[in-house]
Chain A
């Protein structure tokens, strides 16, 4: 099974990303310990030169890291035919104890990698490396997380045994079952519909306040993360019922299949993209008065806020259109 192209690509990508980030993490540690822009010492000038190389490597590694989340889901979905009982990625991920932890850590690193890229983008706009410390502090958080993910993913992919009987998504995300997934599936639509609508409305209002009055970056950021969580819960609770045209099928992974037009990919991409941009708004907020970023951060925050709003609206539009066209009525 290890010869599967998706598995090979994931292992190679995670190996390369881990090596690059481990090396960059060491340089980041040196930068955090020794950075002093007022000094003209050889060490300081060497750090200034190295930060270009390190930042470029990390930026590219993190882009691969973000894309690898989707490759991981795609591969897990493609592998489900190999396991007895699996109907989609939900079953493949349940083949051993590392599948779901890998997915969760991958989502976390995807969000943090996105935030790092936002910080990096802002940092390169300032002439005095204004975000060098927060950028490398975040990198030092990312490195152990990515290394953990690499180990989890390796354990998961090398531990795939074709003779294992696994659970189907109907069993994992079925109402009345035990576990977090089943609890999400059991959330009543009459509660989740207003919660989703309320969160979307609050996000729009916070976005309006941010763009109009340049206030509330932290609130907007928190709401963008809340929208991600609520939207996933709403997707499992009721949106996917309309997509599957089945009142009892709550699986968030079958959406990734051809039968449903691979709609899961744009849905998850809009949610993750929107959350990353929204988190970026809040992360940049403390630096908007920094001299070299005064003309940069507000414009970047506005662009990021627009990105979050557009992607949240796009998610809502896609699920809304699907609901409207679905013959299912709850």
Chain B
């Protein structure tokens, strides 16, 4: 479970033009479920996910991970709650790498290198056996129907293929939590349905899925266990 307590994120705090993107959010997000964050642009969905995913620190408030970061820190009991907002940067890096997999709205693939190399990027700092991770990456790409593109440059991929590469990259370190920011924003309806099909598989595999979206294909999907609606940085409804 991910627990947020009175989380606030203010940009340019203390300056002339402060902007509060997330305003006092208190929330419990269950593990192994799909939670959708919906709301208009500027409602604070993406900022909230960057805070949960340890990519930014809140201005105030705390975020606890319960049993989701067991292998990210030494001497940590798997059942123990870990408060992540106070962690020194070197530990946050380990958690980002091991606990979270990110699928970005613009995919953020590295142009000029191959599909396989893009997927392998998050494994380089882990020091794992290169042959083992390559075998894992190939298997993951094959399962996503990208076997024939392994050595192709990512510049040649279609939007749907590029997103599947981004998904493979997010999964390569076997994270417990997958964070997807507006994943269907650049996809047509059929590809969006395909994406939700993949999410269904990951949910069955026990992954915790956090998706921001204002696409009804995502938030009206039967797969969504919980829909959190946000506006002006606040949670306005939970269903």
Residues in chain B near residue A52, CB distance under 8 A = 88-89
Taking a contact as CB atoms under 8 Å apart, the answer to whether A40 and B61 are in contact is yes
Kindly report which residue of chain A lies nearest to residue B94, judged by CB atoms: A127
Shortest C-beta distance, B48 to chain A (Å), equals 15
Q: Which residues of B contact A127 (CB under 8 A)?
A: 73, 87-88, 91
Q: B13 to chain A: which residues have CB within 8 Å?
A: 42
Q: Tell me whether B41 is interfacial, beta carbon within 8 Å.
A: no
> Is A49's beta carbon under 8 Å from chain B?
yes
Tell me whether A129 and B88 are in contact (CB under 8 A).
Answer: yes
**Complex Cα distance A15/B58, Å?**
36
Name B13-60 residues within 8 Å CB distance of A. Answer: 13, 57-60
Q: Is the CB of A128 within 8 A of B60?
A: no
Partner of A49, one of B5, B57, B61, B73: B57
Residues in B neighbouring A295, C-beta threshold 8 A = 74-75
Interface residues on B, range: 20 to 34
B59 and A48 within 8 A (CB): no
CB distance from B68 to the nearest CB of A (A): 15
Taking a contact as CB atoms closer than 8 A, the residue among B8, B60, B75, B86 that contacts A37 in the complex is: B86
Closest A residue to B63 by beta carbon equals A40
A124 contacts B58, CB within 8 Å? no
Which residue of B is nearest A45, CB measured?
B60
Chain A contact residue count (CB 8 A cutoff): 17
Closest residue to B90 on the A side, CB-wise?
Answer: A124
In the complex, B6 has a CB within 8 A of chain A: yes
A40 to B87 alpha-carbon distance, docked (Å): 12
Measured between beta carbons, the chain B residues less than 8 angstroms from A292 are: 75
Q: How far is the CB of B12 from chain A (nearest CB, A)?
A: 14
B89 A291 Cβ-Cβ under 8 A: no
Contacts A40-B6, A127-B73, A295-B74 known; A48 to B60 CB distance under 8 Å? no
Interchain CB contact under 8 A, B60 and A40: yes
- Tell me the A268-296 residues at the B interface (CB within 8 Å): 291-292, 294-295
Assembled-state Cα–Cα distance A127/B75 (Å): 11
In A282-330, the 8 Å CB interface with B consists of 291-292, 294-295
Q: Which of chain A's residues 113-145 have a Cβ closer than 8 Å to chain B? A: 124, 127-129
User: Chain B, 60-87, contact with A by CB distance < 8 Å: what is the 0/1 string?
Assistant: 1110000000000111000000000111
**B6: chain A residues within 8 A (beta carbon):** 40
Q: Tell me which of A127, A128, A295 has the highest count of chain B C-beta atoms within 10 A of its own C-beta.
A: A127
Q: Mark B188-228, 1 if CB is under 8 A from A, else 0.
A: 00000000000000000000000000000000000000000
Report A34 CB to chain B, min CB distance, Å. Answer: 14
- Residues of chain B lying within 8 A (CB to CB) of residue A124: 88, 90
User: How far apart are the CA atoms of A52 and B88 in the complex, in Å?
Assistant: 8
Evaluate contact between A41 and B60: CB separation under 8 angstroms: yes
Question: Does B87 contact A45, Cβ atoms closer than 8 Å?
Answer: no
Q: For the complex, give the distance between the alpha carbons of A21 and B57 in Å.
A: 27
**A49: B residues at CB distance < 8 A:** 57
Tell me the bound Cα distance from A44 to B85 in angstroms: 11
CA distance A124 to B93 in the complex (A): 14
Nearest chain B residue, comparing its CB with the CB of A48: B86
A48 to B59, CA, bound (A): 11
Within A6-57, the residues touching B (CB, 8 Å) are 37, 40-42, 44-45, 48-49, 52
A-B contact pairs, 19 of them (CB 8 A): A37-B86, A40-B58, A41-B60, A42-B8, A42-B59, A42-B60, A44-B60, A45-B57, A45-B59, A45-B85, A45-B86, A48-B57, A52-B88, A124-B88, A127-B73, A127-B87, A128-B86, A291-B75, A295-B75
A-B pairs, 3 with minimum CB distance: A40-B62, A42-B60, A127-B91
Interface residues of A (CB under 8 A from B): 37, 40-42, 44-45, 48-49, 52, 124, 127-129, 291-292, 294-295
Q: A48-B86, A52-B89 are in contact. List 18 more A-B contacts (CB 8 A).
A: A40-B6, A40-B58, A40-B60, A40-B61, A40-B62, A42-B8, A42-B59, A45-B58, A45-B85, A49-B57, A52-B88, A124-B88, A127-B73, A127-B87, A127-B91, A128-B86, A129-B88, A295-B75
